[in-house]
Structure 1
């Protein structure tokens, strides 16, 4: 984890904040090329009724359509929260590279219980449970309170 990683994660948290303000769940993600160029970013868009509109899933789709397999292998996905099982599977199937997350699936589960919010409805698997060869970095303890506060603000 370096300063560039932290800069991208802070932007992911800004995107997660935008998601909450729009009535969506607090997740934001970025796709960065192996050369360090921002290629794509998005926020959660599940508020419209489609529970698959996660930014990590959108990144996988975008990468499959716009990048070569080699480019995907060297890319980095930054995200405010560790990928869910659906997004981890998409990441692995598309062949994306390193994942850097601010907060973990385990933290999210704890927060949901503490906040009295319903569970996600899917198994709380870590990325490496779904994609055993995935290279991951995270969580970042210094960002946890900020992300937890977004989950507290989010509906549901």
Structure 2
């Protein structure tokens, strides 16, 4: 892809996001799946930058809770990209996005320190989904404790 194509795709994504999610497929995209993949890629890149900063801050400051830092990074990314998040959430059940949503959940669980890459993928995705549910509801004090309570109601 040359620079002209890059800018055409960027401008088309900007227009879709600015439209509030009217998903008619603009040029240069060929179908809805290709458009959704490009939108998800944009979200992933923005989230990854914030997560990297959060993890670095947590590694430097032993008093900073890693899970809390990751949750705050996700919330800040979602707030800064609210229209993009709405579009992706509206289409999260489409087959083209399901695998990417699960991959994001696994990554969140790993980065927050709640799972390890060697754990079963299904378990990591489930922990990531529970963590994300807590993050989206704005945890009161300790997101890890709330996550554990949600995963094990007897805890």
Q: TM-score, normalised by structure 1?
A: 0.32
Q: Report which of the two has the higher share of helix.
A: 2
Higher relative contact order (CA 8 A, sep 6+): 1
Larger radius of gyration: 2
Q: Report which of the two has the higher share of strand.
A: 1
Q: TM-score, normalised by structure 2?
A: 0.32
